[in-house]
Amino acid sequence: MQVASYLKLSVLVALATIALKFGAWWLTGSVGLLSDALESLVNLAGAVFALMMVTVAAAPPDQDHPYGHHKAEYFSSGFEGLLILGAAVAILWAAGQRFMAPQPLQSLGIGIGLSVLSSVLNGALAYAMLRKAREHRSAALEGDARHLFTDVWTSAGVVTALIAVHLTGWLWLDPAIAVAVALNIVREGVRLVWGATDGLMDRALEPEVRRQIDTTLKEFAHQTIRFDHVVTRRAGRRRFVDLHMHMPASWTLQRAAAVRASVEQALMSAVPGLRATIQLLPMDVEAHFGDAEDLK
C-alpha cells in the first residue's frame, strides 16, 4: 500500500472514530470524552490536508520548481501541529466550564466501550502508518501517525479517569483529565510544528546516512582522487549530497566523467532516494566561497 492509500484510510478511520467518540460524549456528558472527540476532528482535518500535500509532493519537477515539490509534506506536518494547538485551547475552555459547574456522568459503560473501540482502530492504523512512513521517509505520514498515537494515549487517559470517577464519585476528575489531555497534545503540537520548520530549513541528513556516504566515498579515494566540501540536505523524501571530486589535471574529460558517473551511481545505490551532484576539479585547485562558513 502506498503513502496516499494510507492517508485515505486514515480519513475513513477518522470519520469512524469521530462518530464513536462524539457518541460516547453524547451518552455520558463527559468533558474528558468531549476533549477526545475534538482531537479526532483534528485527526480528520490533518489526514485530509496530508493527503493533499502528499499529492503535491509527488508531482514531477516543472519550470517553476526544477527540484521538485518534496517539501510540501512539511506543510502538512506543521498544519497538523497548529490544529492540535487549536484543539488544546478548545479543550481547556470546556474543562474550565466544567470545573465551575460539575455535572454527573451517565451511561459510562457504553461510553467507555465506544472510546476503547475507537482507540483500537487508531492504534492499529498508527502502527502501520509509522512503519510505512519510515520506509518512504514521508514527513506527512509520520506526522499523521504520531498524532494518532497521541490520540490513543489520550483515550487511555480519559477512560482511566472515567473509571476513577465511577469508583470514587469525584466529578472534578473529569475536567482534570481534560486539562491533562490538552497539555499532552500541546507538547505533540509543538513537536510537529518544530519538526516541520526544521525540515523547511534544509536540515542535514541523518548521521547514519552521512556515514554511508563517507564510507562509499572512501572506496574511490586514493592518491589520484580526493573528495571535499561534502554537504547534505533533506527535502521531504528526497536526499541530496553536493561535493567536489579532485583528480589529476592530465586526465581527459571523458575519463573524469566516467569516474564521476561511477561515484554517483555508488552513492545512489548505497543511499536510496539520494541525488548526488559532483563538481570536478584538478587535484591542485581549491574552490572557495564568499561565505566564511563554507571554508570550515
pTM of the full structure: 0.57
Cell readout for 12 is 475513513
What fold is seen in the domain 207-295?
Alpha-Beta Plaits (3.30.70)
- CA–CA distance, 286 with 263 (Å, rounded to integer): 20
Q: Would you list the domain boundaries of the chain? A: 3-200, 207-295
Averaged over 15-20, what is the pLDDT?
86
Question: 295 pLDDT band (50/70/90 cuts)?
Answer: very low
Q: Are 200 and 242 in contact (CB under 8 A)?
A: no
DSSP, collapsed to helix, strand or coil, labels residue 229 as strand
Across the range 162-184, mean pLDDT stands at 78
Where does the pLDDT of residue 289 fall: very low under 50, low under 70, confident under 90, or very high at 90 and above? Answer: low
Question: First and final CA of the chain: distance in angstroms?
Answer: 44
Q: Are 139 and 75 in contact (CB under 8 A)?
A: no
Residue 87 in this model has a pLDDT that exceeds 70: yes
- Type and span of the H or E element at 207: helix 207-218
Measured in whole angstroms, how far is the alpha carbon of residue 158 from the centre of its chain? 25
The beta-strand segments (E) located in 31-167 are none
Fold topology of 3-200: Alpha-lytic protease prodomain-like (1.20.1510)
* 287 confidence band (pLDDT: 50, 70, 90): low
Q: Is 280 helix (H, G, I), strand (E, B) or coil?
A: strand
Q: Give yes or no for residue 215 having a pLDDT over 90.
A: yes
Q: Using CA atoms, how far apart are residues 62 and 72, in angstroms rounded to an integer?
A: 15
